[in-house]
């Protein structure tokens, strides 16, 4: 017999979202999809509460008064569905109203994980309630229990206010100091990517090179043991600490390890460096366990949101930034250029005779060329440069603090490298060439973004009409071109 579950309410969900939810909810759960007015009546009739599924689009359009009336039902848990990429989703999650964020399309795994999270949080609040009742019975423990509740409340509130994993971990170090002596908090989180385990390590920024190497080895071995797979690749993110650098240096022999999971298998771990590591009582260990459960939820949300945002900002084929992300970045770089009086250049790249590649070898071969050119840009450009796919067979590169002459040298290097690359598709080998236009801004120039793009486009047009496979600058009288025979 299936275990009864709490009521599930859809708040003005689209037919598609409602269908996806109904198809993956347990058989004992019946989704009631209602408009706000009817939803309020439904919630008022059920004092025990339940789950409310609401999309970003619906929540964004709700008047503030309706939001307040809905969230006044404290026994109900709200789950947000990102039915579209919207920067305001970050603000909604930061409000602390929503338990988790689910990305579309919905599937059984996402919905099951959300239900598990809801159950875990509900259980955690039940534990807090029982703890409060014990306090009333044992007055001599009142002060200590109140401190523990304050700690949990602060930790839960602050962890829900951001979707930046580095900020969550930095805040947790301060919050955990309410419960025990904390010198530092470190973390590692892992996931599968194309059959290999990759990890992100979060370390204090004040570590010496030797100490950092020791901690990397420790965290990687921890991930291998808990995740049951050897980590094949990793990246390190640094955490800022307000404490004195010498005082907050973590030591490997004073550790509390908290595995983080939202299901049967952990996806990460926190390591707390504390002088009290070997002297914790059962009450503080239990509170640490509850803290780990909510931090797991917050970290999973933040890591998933970062992945979603990265997908929204990047071109699906070439894996570099897309046109929308380029437009945003160019405005930011031009403001920085005007503020700091730096040089700034823009490079526009167009694949020569790309239509003939598609016509001769097929569109899959064309996609292969676009992917490889994206890789060449990513691997050849400097870390400060910003490549993006502009559309079709056109690419753009923002070159901060770079004069046109320097940009021309870099463009020539790219042109030569792409021209020398042999593309292989279905036992056929071929090459492609590119034409490149460059435009630059002098310090103090007030050219709008559209003007810089226009100048680079004119230079690109000059390169193409002059024979292709060459680089031209927007200052035509100073244009340098090199055409290969």
| Active-site residue set | 393
Mapped onto helix, strand or coil, the DSSP state of residue 107 is coil
Q: Is the separation of the CB atoms in 277 and 267 below 8 Å? A: no
Could you give the CA distance from residue 194 to residue 3 in angstroms, rounded to a whole number?
Answer: 37
List, in sequence order, the alpha helices (H) in 49-204: 56-61, 64-71, 88-94, 108-137, 142-159, 165-176
Could you give the CA distance from residue 357 to residue 277 in angstroms, rounded to a whole number?
Answer: 64
Residue 416 burial class via C-beta count within 10 angstroms: exposed 0-12, middle 13-18, buried 19 and up: middle
Cα angle 120, 123, 127 (rounded to 5 degrees) comes to 135
Mapped onto helix, strand or coil, the DSSP state of residue 201 is strand
Please list the residues that pair with 208 across neighbouring strands: none
Q: Is the separation of the CB atoms in 26 and 35 below 8 Å? A: no
- Torsion-angle region of 429 (φ positive above 0: left; ψ -120 to 50: alpha; else: beta): beta
Q: Is the separation of the CB atoms in 347 and 411 below 8 Å? A: yes
The tokens 């094949």 sit on which residue? 232
Helix H or strand E segment including 465: helix 449-465
Q: What is the CA radius of gyration of the chain?
A: 28
Could you give the CA distance from residue 298 to residue 265 in angstroms, rounded to a whole number?
Answer: 17
Nearest to 5 by CA among 32, 25, 35, 23: 25
- Residues belonging to the chain: 485
The tokens 């020539």 sit on which residue? 412
Please list the residues that pair with 347 across neighbouring strands: 397, 438
| DSSP annotation of 404 | H
Beta pairing class for 266-273 and 255-261: antiparallel
- Six-digit token string for 363: 């569109």
- Six-digit token string for 465: 């009409």
């Amino acid at each position: 017999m299936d275990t009864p579950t709490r009521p599930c309410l859809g708040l003005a969900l689209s037919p598609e979202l409602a269908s996806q939810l109904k198809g993956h909810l347990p058989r004992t759960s019946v989704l009631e999809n209602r408009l706000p007015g009817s939803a309020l009546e439904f919630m008022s009739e059920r004092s025990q509460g339940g789950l409310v599924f609401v999309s970003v689009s619906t929540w964004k359009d709700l008047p503030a008064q309706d939001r307040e009336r809905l969230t006044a039902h404290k026994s109900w848990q709200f789950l947000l569905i990102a039915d579209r990429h919207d920067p305001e989703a970050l603000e909604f999650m930061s409000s602390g109203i929503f338990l988790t964020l689910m990305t579309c399309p919905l599937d059984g795994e996402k919905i099951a994980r959300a239900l598990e999270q809801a159950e875990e949080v509900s259980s955690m609040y039940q534990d807090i309630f029982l703890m409060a009742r014990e306090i009333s019975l044992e007055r001599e423990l009142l002060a200590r229990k109140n401190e523990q509740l304050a700690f949990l409340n602060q930790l839960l509130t602050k962890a829900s206010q951001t979707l930046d994993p580095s900020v969550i971990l930095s805040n947790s170090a301060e919050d955990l100091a309410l419960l025990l002596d904390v010198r530092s908090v470190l973390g590692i989180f892992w996931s599968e990517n194309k059959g290999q385990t990759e990890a992100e390590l979060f370390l204090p920024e004040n570590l010496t090179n030797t100490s950092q190497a020791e901690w990397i080895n420790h965290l990687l071995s921890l991930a291998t043991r808990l995740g049951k797979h050897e980590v094949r690749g990793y990246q390190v993110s640094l955490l800022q600490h307000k404490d004195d650098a010498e005082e907050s240096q973590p030591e490997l022999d004073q550790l509390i390890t908290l595995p983080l999971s939202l299901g049967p298998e952990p996806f990460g771990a926190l390591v707390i460096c504390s002088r009290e590591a070997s002297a914790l009582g059962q009450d503080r260990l239990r509170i640490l366990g509850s803290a780990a459960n909510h931090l797991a939820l917050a970290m999973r949300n933040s890591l998933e949101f970062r992945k979603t945002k990265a997908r929204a900002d990047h071109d699906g084929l070439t894996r570099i930034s897309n046109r929308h992300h380029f437009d945003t970045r160019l405005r930011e770089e031009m403001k920085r250029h005007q503020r700091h009086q730096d040089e700034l250049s823009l490079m526009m790249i167009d694949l020569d005779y790309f239509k003939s590649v598609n016509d001769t070898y097929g569109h899959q071969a064309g996609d292969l060329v676009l992917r490889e050119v994206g890789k060449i840009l990513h691997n050849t450009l400097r870390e400060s440069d910003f490549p993006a796919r502009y559309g079709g067979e056109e690419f753009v590169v923002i070159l901060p603090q770079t004069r046109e002459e320097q940009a021309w040298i870099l463009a020539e290097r790219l042109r030569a490298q792409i021209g020398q690359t042999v593309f292989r598709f279905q036992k056929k080998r071929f090459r492609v060439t590119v034409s490149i236009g460059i435009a630059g801004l002098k310090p103090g120039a007030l050219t709008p973004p559209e003007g810089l793009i226009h100048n680079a486009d004119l230079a690109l047009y000059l390169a193409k009409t002059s024979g292709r496979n060459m680089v031209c600058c927007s200052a035509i009288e100073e244009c340098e071109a090199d055409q290969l025979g």
